[in-house]
Structure 1
Amino acid sequence: MSQIDKASRRQKIKDRSRGNVQGTSAKPRLCVYRSLSQIYAQLIDDVNGKTILAASTLSKDNSALKGSKSELCRIIGNQLGQKALAQGITCVVFDRNGFRYHGRVKALADGAREAGLIF
């Protein structure tokens, strides 16, 4: 499967699932983006079009972290969950953004659940 086919496949899945997933200020959308070597997660309020929180492996807090990609994803999810709980957010809607719920995406979700987020 070529790169164009993979990208168009993921875009179709993303568009199809976006109709069911929408975040509000009370229950924001936890959006995950996975690149080859990094992972990014955001809590988004779609009603107001604002990003509430963000965490990634590239942030300054996480530059010294060591471990496998899956372990880092679990740590990022845990950090995002703790930041969300500090702001009073307990429930979120998970948006896997067209990626399979497996591996690093699942590890990030598990880390967020360990921190106390409900989805």
Structure 2
Amino acid sequence: MIKKIKGTPKRPRLYIYRSNKHIYAQIIDDLTSHIIATSSSIAIDLKNHIKQTKNCETAKLIGKSIANKCIKKGILKVLLDRGSRKYHGRIKALADSARENGLDF
């Protein structure tokens, strides 16, 4: 049984998707079906800083990037949506990095 997590304008949802090669993070407001910010290991602005796309160091960079984008838009509180994945490895590294850089969840 999977719980449905709903983001609001005051507290949007931080959705993390991990594939075998890449990791993606999106800030989503579910009431308006609007993606507020996004960052991933295939983003052009991060490609120069990433040596390998499927490790925890890359996840930390993406967590820092998504946190900075949220803070610029005035979003400090989010809900973490990790899908059906365990809170471990790259997902944990991204979430911890986002917390260290100012997001609250």
TM-score normalised over the length of structure 1: 0.83
2:100 is matched with which residue? 114
CA offsets per residue over residues 58-111 of structure 1, 9 Å max, x none?
A: 000111222561010011001100110011000000000111100000000011
Q: What's 1:61 paired with?
A: 45
Task: Name the % identity.
Answer: 42
SS of equivalent to 1:41: strand
Aligned position for 2:3: 17
TM-score by length of 2: 0.93
Number of matched residues?
103
4+ residue stretches of structure 1 with deviation over 6 A?
none
Q: Work out which of the two has the higher radius of gyration on C-alpha atoms and give 1 or 2.
A: 1
| Match of residue 45 from structure 1 | 29
Per-residue Cα deviation, 1:30-60 (whole angstroms, up to 9, x for no partner): 0000000100000000000010000000000
**Gaps in structure 2 of 5+ consecutive residues:** none
1:38 partner amino acid: H
Structure 2 residue matching 1:31: 3-state secondary structure? strand
Q: Tell me, in whole angstroms, the C-alpha distance in 2 between the residues paired with 1:85 and 1:62.
A: 18
**Cα distance in structure 2, aligned partners of 1:77 and 1:35:** 16
Q: What root-mean-square deviation, in Å, do the aligned CA atoms of Structure 1 and Structure 2 show?
A: 1.1
- CA deviation after TM superposition for structure 1 residue 17, in Å: 2.0
> Is the helix fraction higher in 1 or 2?
1
